[in-house]
């Protein structure tokens, strides 16, 4: 149906059309869809070089469900309720934060992400993070602004209030999906550079190899993300 949502079959046909080198208008004619629908679908899911039908279908479903409100729940319980060793928890938090900082996250941003990851509550507020980390509300806001576009954390407004709450549901999966997109852009840029410099020149050969390697990583990661999704679906169906 031209005005309906794209189906898994539609997305496979889009991927096939892109693989054939077709333009958006031609793909749109094949699917009896507006050209803008095709261009928007591809742009939101990795671009011409990175579009994967299975990942696009998964991300569309995730976007449709992620707006569901998180139920209000009792505020953070004491770790003693779970009989944890407080010293072990503090040590893990410290080491996990340091590891993320070593991987490139600003230290305060790493601390915010770790706090949201290791909470047993469905979300944390800015006040929670200020209290846990001893940082300002402005620092929390800056860290969230850094993490959200990467797909590592999600924010939403507390119903009926001006406060925001921060959570990780499938945000981590989205982060890896965006890694596929970033690898696509990296490979495309390196490939373009190889053409400009000439593949037989030292610079061009270096860029060409980088493009090939990055495409290899992208394709491998895309396959594994789809495989993980299928494994999780099977596991949940058994529950």
Q: How many CB atoms lie within 10 A of CB 34?
A: 14
Average the pLDDT over each of 59-63, 89-93, 170-174 and give the range with the smallest value.
59-63
Looking at the fold, whether 102 and 161 belong to one and the same domain comes out as: yes
Looking at the fold, whether 159 and 186 belong to one and the same domain comes out as: no
pLDDT at residue number 180: 85
Looking at the fold, whether 30 and 106 belong to one and the same domain comes out as: no
Looking at the fold, whether 162 and 178 belong to one and the same domain comes out as: no
164-167: strand order across its sheet: 124-125, 164-167, 154-157
pLDDT at residue number 41: 86
Is 72 a member of any domain? no
Is 205 a member of any domain? yes
Is 3 a member of any domain? no
Overall pTM > 0.75: no
Distance of CA 63 to the CA centre of its chain: 11
For position 89, which CATH number holds? 1.10.10.10
Number of domains in the chain: 3
Mean pLDDT taken over the chain? 83
Looking at the fold, whether 137 and 180 belong to one and the same domain comes out as: no
Is 71 a member of any domain? no
Is 33 a member of any domain? yes
Is 1 a member of any domain? no
Average the pLDDT over each of 23-32, 114-123, 149-158 and give the range with the smallest value.
149-158
> Of the segments 34-38, 128-132, 225-229, which one has the largest average pLDDT value?
128-132
φ/ψ of 25, rounded to 5, equals -65, -40
3-state secondary structure of 168: coil
- pLDDT (tens digit, 9 = 90+) per residue, 189-238? 999 999 999 989 999 999 999 999 999 999 998 898 888 888 878 887 77
- The answer to whether 151 and 183 are in contact (CB under 8 A) is no
Is 229 a member of any domain? yes
pLDDT at residue number 61: 62
Q: pLDDT-derived band of residue 63, with 50, 70 and 90 as boundaries?
A: low
Q: What is the rounded CA–CA span in Å between residue 72 and residue 115?
A: 19
Looking at the fold, whether 17 and 51 belong to one and the same domain comes out as: yes
Q: Which residues contact 24 (CB under 8 A, 6 or more apart)?
A: 35, 38, 39, 42
Looking at the fold, whether 95 and 53 belong to one and the same domain comes out as: no
pLDDT at residue number 7: 87
Q: Which domain holds residue 208?
A: 172-238
Looking at the fold, whether 176 and 220 belong to one and the same domain comes out as: yes
Is 213 a member of any domain? yes
Q: Of 144, 169, 194, which marks where a domain is finished?
A: 169
DSSP 75: -
Q: Of 169, 202, 230, which marks where a domain is finished?
A: 169
3-state secondary structure of 121: coil
Q: Of 154, 169, 184, which marks where a domain is finished?
A: 169
Q: What is the rounded CA–CA span in Å between residue 153 and residue 1?
A: 35
Looking at the fold, whether 108 and 185 belong to one and the same domain comes out as: no
Q: Which two tokens stand for residue 134?
A: 């001893």
Looking at the fold, whether 186 and 165 belong to one and the same domain comes out as: no
């Amino acid at each position: 149906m031209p005005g309906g949502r794209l189906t898994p079959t539609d997305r496979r046909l889009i991927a096939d059309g892109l693989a054939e080198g077709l333009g958006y208008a031609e793909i749109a004619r094949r699917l009896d869809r507006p050209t803008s629908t095709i261009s928007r679908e591809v742009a939101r899911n990795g671009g011409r070089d990175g579009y994967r039908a299975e990942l696009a279908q998964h991300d569309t479903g995730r976007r449709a469900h992620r707006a569901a409100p998180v139920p209000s729940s009792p505020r953070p319980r004491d770790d003693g309720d779970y009989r944890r060793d407080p010293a072990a928890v503090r040590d893990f938090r410290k080491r996990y934060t340091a590891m993320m900082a070593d991987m490139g996250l600003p230290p305060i941003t790493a601390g915010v992400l770790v706090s949201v990851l290791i909470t047993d509550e469905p979300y944390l507020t800015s006040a929670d993070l200020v209290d846990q980390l001893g940082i300002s509300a402005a620092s929390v806001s800056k860290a969230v602004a850094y993490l959200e576009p990467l797909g590592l954390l999600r924010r939403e407004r507390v119903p009926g209030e001006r406060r925001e709450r921060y959570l990780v549901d499938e945000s981590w999966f989205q982060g890896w999906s965006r890694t596929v997109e970033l690898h696509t852009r990296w490979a495309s840029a390196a490939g373009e550079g190889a053409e400009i410099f000439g593949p037989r020149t030292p610079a061009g050969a270096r860029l060409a190899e980088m493009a090939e390697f990055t495409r290899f990583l992208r394709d491998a990661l895309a396959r594994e993300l789809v495989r993980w999704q299928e494994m999780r679906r099977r596991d949940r169906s058994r529950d």
